[in-house]
Chains A and B, each alone.
Chain A
Amino acid sequence: MPVLEPAGAPTALLLHDSRATLVSNRKPATVLAMRLRLILALAALVAASCVDDDPLDAFVEVEPEIVIETEEPDTDALEEAAADTESEVDEAAPIEIPDDALDLSGMDQVALDIQDNAFTQRVVVVSAGTEITWTNQGRNEHNVRPAVEGAFEPISTLDLAEKGDSASLVFETPGDFPYFCSLHGTATNGQTGRVIVVS
C-alpha cells in the first residue's frame, strides 16, 4: 500500500476537449465547499466513534463528494467542434459492441470499480453525456488513461491513489474510448477497459 503525498494544489482538469470532461474528487469548489466540509466532518465523527472498539479503523475511507464543474461555453467553438465531430462520427466505421459489454445506456451517471489489477466492468456501453465515476476498490493505486492519446483527459494516479478514491469523466460524444492503467498495463495489454458511447 504505497503512500502518496498530495502534490500541492490540484491541477486544472476541465474540458480537455469536446468529448470528455474530467471531474476530480480533489478539486476544491467554492460553491459546495461548506457542504463538503459538513460531509467530511460527519465522516470524521463516524470514524472517531469507531476508534475504541473497531479494529477496522485503518480501513475507514472518507469518500469526497464528486464536484461537477462547468465553464462558460464558447458558442462558436462548440458549434465548430460539433460540426467536426458529426463529420467524424458519420465517417467512422460502426462500433462493434462485444457480447460481454455491460449495457448501461440511458443512465446519467455510471459507477465503475477498479480492483487490483483490473477495471471490474471492463467494457461498458453508455449514452452520450453520461458521467462515469471510477472508484478504486483495490489496495494499489491506479489511473485511467486513454489508449488513444488525447481521446479524453486522463485521470491521474493521484486521484485514484488509495482505496475509496474516485474520479469521474463525462463522455459527451459517441465513440469508442479504450483506456488503461499505465501502472499495470499498456494501451493494449494488462489492466485495460473500454467505454463505448452511443447517441
Chain B
Amino acid sequence: MRRLLILLSVFALVASACGGGDDSTETTAGDTPTESDSAAEPDEETAEPEPEPEEEAEPEPEEPANDNPLNALRVPQDFATIQDAVDAAEPGDLVLIDEGVYNESVVVETDNIVIRGVDRQTVVLDGEHSEEMANGIIVFSNGVAVENLTVKNYFSNGVFFTGDYDSDFILRGYRVSYVNALNNRVYGIYAFNAEYGLFDNTYAAGHTDSGYYIGQCQPCNAVLSNNLSEYNTLAYSGTNAGGDLFIVNNEFRMNRIGVTPNTLNSEELAPQRGATFAGNWIHSNGNPETPKGGNTWELAYGVGMVLPGANNNLVSRNLIENNLNGGVAVSFMPDGDTFWLAENNTITDNVFRGNGIDAVMVDQGGGEGLGNCFSGNTLDTSRPADIDTVLPCDGPEGDLSDMIGIDFFSPPGADENVPYADVASPGAADQPSMPDALTAPASPADVLPEFDDFDLDAIAVPSGT
C-alpha cells in the first residue's frame, strides 16, 4: 500500500477504532484493572478472605464502575473549564469534554495531547462573536488532535494551528477530525506554518474567508480528506502551501467560490506549488447566501476551482459540476505590484458538466500556456476552445488565440452579502460523531509519515450522489 493510503488508514483507524472493539464503558485503560481482572483478583489490602466458592453464596458487591475508563482529564467533572484541563494535560493525555456550551478561547501549549468532545453536536465551543475570544482553539504545540465537537461564533478562527513565524518554529503534527466549524469570522479550520497534518471528516460553513485554510508551508505534508465545506466565501484556500499536500475525496459545494490554491505576498514561501486535488466533488458554487469576503475573491465568484498564481499542481479525477460561472480557471494572481504567474499545472481526467464554462486558461500576458496542460477531461466548453487539444499534456500547444484575459475574472457576481454570523449551515446537523468517542484511547497527531509516493489510481471520480 502506498504511503498516503497508509497514512489515511492509520488516521482513520486511530480515530475510529482504537477502542479495540470493546465499547463497554467499563473497559479500562492503562494500568487500571479491567472488569474481569477485578473479579478475579480483588484488592489484597482491603478484601476479606473469601469463602469457598459456592453456587448458593451471595455475590460479592460489585466494585464501583470506573467512570473514567480512559483516564481522561474530564470537563467539567474534573476541571471547570477546557482551558484548565488543557493546562493540566501532559503529552499523551486526553481532555474529554462533556456535553454543554463552553464560552472559552482555548490556548494549547502542550505537545501531543488530544482534545475530544463526547458528542460532535452537543459539545459546543461558542465564542459569542467576542473579540476577546478570537479563536476557538489555538494550538502552538506539536502533535495535537482536536476531535468530535463544534466550534462556532469566534471572532477570528474556529480551530487554528500555528507555527511561530519568526522563531523558525514550524509546528509539526496536527489533526482535526469530526469537528464542525460554524460561523467563525475568518477561517473555520486553519493551519499556518505547520507540517504533517490531517483534516478529516470535518464540516465548515459560514466563514468570510475559507472553511479550510492551509497557509505558508512547503512541504506541507498534509491531507484533507472526507471533509464538507459549504456556505463560505471560499471552500478551501491554500496560500503559498504545497509540497505533499493532498486535497482528496472532499465535497466543496454551495460556497461563493470553491477551491483556490494561490500565491500571495502577504505570507512567506511564495509561490504556491505542488499540491494535489483529486477525487473531490466540487459543485454548485456561486451561492449568494454567503459572506462577501472582499473584492479580491469576488473576481472569481461562482468558479469551482481557481488557480491564481498557482504552480505545479495536479487536478485530477474530480467531478466539477454546476458551478455558476466556471469549472476550473488557471490564472495569474495580481498582488500589489506583483503578477504571480500560474505555471505547469496539470488538469487531467476530470469530469465537468453544467458549469458556466467548464475550463478556462487565462492569457497571462504572453499568449502561451506556460506549461499548464489539460488532458483526458470530459467537458463541453472551454477557453481556449477544445482545451484538451490545444493545451495537451503530451504534445505541443495548438492555437491559443482565443484565450481570454483577466476579464474572465469579472463574472456576474452577487450583491448579496450575508453577514457571517447569519449564514446558514444546513449540513451541520447531519454530520456524524466520531465512532467510539467514549472508549477510543487518545491518539495524538504525532505520526510524521513521509509522502514520497501517491497512488492516483486509487482515487475515483466521485459519482455526484
Q: Which residues of A contact B166 (CB under 8 A)?
A: 118-119, 122
Query: Considering the chains assembled together, what is the distance between the CA atoms of A163 and B296 in angstroms?
Result: 12
Minimal beta-carbon separation of A149 from chain B (angstroms): 12
Minimal beta-carbon separation of B86 from chain A (angstroms): 13
For chain B residues 325-344, which have a beta carbon within 8 Å of chain A? 334-336
Inter-chain contact count A-B, CB under 8 Å? Answer: 87
> 1/0 contact trace for A109-121 toward B, CB 8 Å?
0000001111100
Please tell me if the beta carbons of A191 and B165 are within 8 angstroms of each other in the complex. Answer: yes
Please tell me if the beta carbons of B215 and A157 are within 8 angstroms of each other in the complex. Answer: no
Please tell me if the beta carbons of B292 and A56 are within 8 angstroms of each other in the complex. Answer: no
Would you call A55 an interface residue if the criterion is a C-beta within 8 Å of the partner chain's C-beta atoms? yes
Q: Which residues of B contact A189 (CB under 8 A)?
A: 107, 109, 140, 164
Question: Could you list 21 A-B pairs, sorted by A, with CB under 8 Å?
Answer: A1-B208, A1-B296, A2-B185, A3-B293, A3-B417, A115-B267, A116-B266, A116-B267, A117-B162, A122-B166, A137-B265, A138-B266, A139-B239, A139-B264, A139-B296, A163-B266, A182-B132, A183-B134, A183-B135, A190-B140, A191-B165
Q: Which residues of A contact B (CB under 8 A)?
A: 1-3, 55-59, 115-119, 122, 137-141, 157, 163, 182-186, 189-191
B335's nearest neighbour on chain A, judged by CB, is A59
Minimal beta-carbon separation of A125 from chain B (angstroms): 16
Would you call B79 an interface residue if the criterion is a C-beta within 8 Å of the partner chain's C-beta atoms? no
Beyond the given A58-B295, A189-B140, could you list 13 further A-B residue pairs with CB under 8 A, ordered by the A residue number?
Answer: A1-B208, A1-B296, A2-B209, A56-B334, A57-B295, A117-B192, A118-B165, A122-B166, A138-B266, A138-B267, A182-B132, A184-B192, A190-B140
Interface of B is mostly: loop
Query: Considering the chains assembled together, what is the distance between the CA atoms of A59 and B295 in angstroms?
Result: 8
> 1/0 contact trace for B107-130 toward A, CB 8 Å?
101000000000000000000000
Would you call B30 an interface residue if the criterion is a C-beta within 8 Å of the partner chain's C-beta atoms? no
Q: Which residues of A contact B293 (CB under 8 A)?
A: 1-3
Query: Considering the chains assembled together, what is the distance between the CA atoms of A55 and B294 in angstroms?
Result: 15
Please tell me if the beta carbons of B299 and A58 are within 8 angstroms of each other in the complex. Answer: yes
Query: Considering the chains assembled together, what is the distance between the CA atoms of A132 and B450 in angstroms?
Result: 45
Would you call B156 an interface residue if the criterion is a C-beta within 8 Å of the partner chain's C-beta atoms? yes
For chain B residues 274-314, which have a beta carbon within 8 Å of chain A? 291-299
**Known contacts A1-B294, A1-B297, A58-B296; is A137 also within 8 Å of B162 by CB?**
no
B109's nearest neighbour on chain A, judged by CB, is A189
Would you call B186 an interface residue if the criterion is a C-beta within 8 Å of the partner chain's C-beta atoms? yes
Please tell me if the beta carbons of B209 and A182 are within 8 angstroms of each other in the complex. Answer: no
Q: Which residues of A contact B297 (CB under 8 A)?
A: 1
Contact of B156 among A3, A119, A183 (CB under 8 A): A183
Closest 6 CB pairs of A and B: A1-B294, A118-B165, A58-B295, A138-B266, A139-B266, A2-B208
Would you call B138 an interface residue if the criterion is a C-beta within 8 Å of the partner chain's C-beta atoms? yes
Q: Which residues of B contact A186 (CB under 8 A)?
A: 107, 138, 140
Minimal beta-carbon separation of A182 from chain B (angstroms): 6
Minimal beta-carbon separation of B255 from chain A (angstroms): 15
Query: Considering the chains assembled together, what is the distance between the CA atoms of A190 and B264 in angstroms?
Result: 21
Would you call B406 an interface residue if the criterion is a C-beta within 8 Å of the partner chain's C-beta atoms? yes
Residue among A1, A122, A186 with the highest chain B CB neighbour number at 10 A? A1
Please tell me if the beta carbons of A55 and B162 are within 8 angstroms of each other in the complex. Answer: no
Query: Considering the chains assembled together, what is the distance between the CA atoms of A138 and B268 in angstroms?
Result: 11
Would you call B58 an interface residue if the criterion is a C-beta within 8 Å of the partner chain's C-beta atoms? no
Contact of A59 among B135, B292, B336 (CB under 8 A): B336
Query: Considering the chains assembled together, what is the distance between the CA atoms of A137 and B293 in angstroms?
Result: 18
Minimal beta-carbon separation of B236 from chain A (angstroms): 15
Minimal beta-carbon separation of B154 from chain A (angstroms): 10
Interface size range of chain B in the complex: 35 or more
B192's nearest neighbour on chain A, judged by CB, is A117
Query: Considering the chains assembled together, what is the distance between the CA atoms of A141 and B155 in angstroms?
Result: 11
Minimal beta-carbon separation of A145 from chain B (angstroms): 10
Please tell me if the beta carbons of B140 and A182 are within 8 angstroms of each other in the complex. Answer: no
Q: Which residues of B contact A137 (CB under 8 A)?
A: 265-266
Please tell me if the beta carbons of B291 and A3 are within 8 angstroms of each other in the complex. Answer: yes
Query: Considering the chains assembled together, what is the distance between the CA atoms of A186 and B264 in angstroms?
Result: 25
Q: Which residues of B contact A183 (CB under 8 A)?
A: 134-135, 155-156
B291's nearest neighbour on chain A, judged by CB, is A3
A5's nearest neighbour on chain B, judged by CB, is B419
Minimal beta-carbon separation of B413 from chain A (angstroms): 12
Q: Which residues of B contact A139 (CB under 8 A)?
A: 239, 264, 266, 296
Q: Which residues of B contact A57 (CB under 8 A)?
A: 295
Q: Which residues of A contact B208 (CB under 8 A)?
A: 1-3
A139's nearest neighbour on chain B, judged by CB, is B266
Please tell me if the beta carbons of B295 and A117 are within 8 angstroms of each other in the complex. Answer: no
For chain B residues 128-173, which have a beta carbon within 8 Å of chain A? 131-132, 134-135, 138, 140, 155-156, 160, 162, 164-166
For chain B residues 222-256, which have a beta carbon within 8 Å of chain A? 239
Contact of A3 among B107, B135, B292 (CB under 8 A): B292
Q: Which residues of A contact B406 (CB under 8 A)?
A: 55
Q: Which residues of B contact A1 (CB under 8 A)?
A: 208-209, 293-294, 296-297
Query: Considering the chains assembled together, what is the distance between the CA atoms of A183 and B295 in angstroms?
Result: 22
Residue among A2, A183, A184 with the highest chain B CB neighbour number at 10 A? A2
Please tell me if the beta carbons of B186 and A140 are within 8 angstroms of each other in the complex. Answer: yes
Please tell me if the beta carbons of A55 and B334 are within 8 angstroms of each other in the complex. Answer: yes
Minimal beta-carbon separation of A199 from chain B (angstroms): 27
Please tell me if the beta carbons of A190 and B138 are within 8 angstroms of each other in the complex. Answer: yes
Please tell me if the beta carbons of B294 and A117 are within 8 angstroms of each other in the complex. Answer: no
Query: Considering the chains assembled together, what is the distance between the CA atoms of A117 and B185 in angstroms?
Result: 16
Query: Considering the chains assembled together, what is the distance between the CA atoms of A190 and B167 in angstroms?
Result: 9
**Known contacts A3-B294, A182-B131; is A59 also within 8 Å of B156 by CB?**
no
Query: Considering the chains assembled together, what is the distance between the CA atoms of A191 and B109 in angstroms?
Result: 14
Q: Which residues of A contact B334 (CB under 8 A)?
A: 55-56, 58-59
Q: Which residues of A contact B156 (CB under 8 A)?
A: 183-184
Q: Which residues of A contact B299 (CB under 8 A)?
A: 58
Please tell me if the beta carbons of A184 and B186 are within 8 angstroms of each other in the complex. Answer: no
Minimal beta-carbon separation of B264 from chain A (angstroms): 6
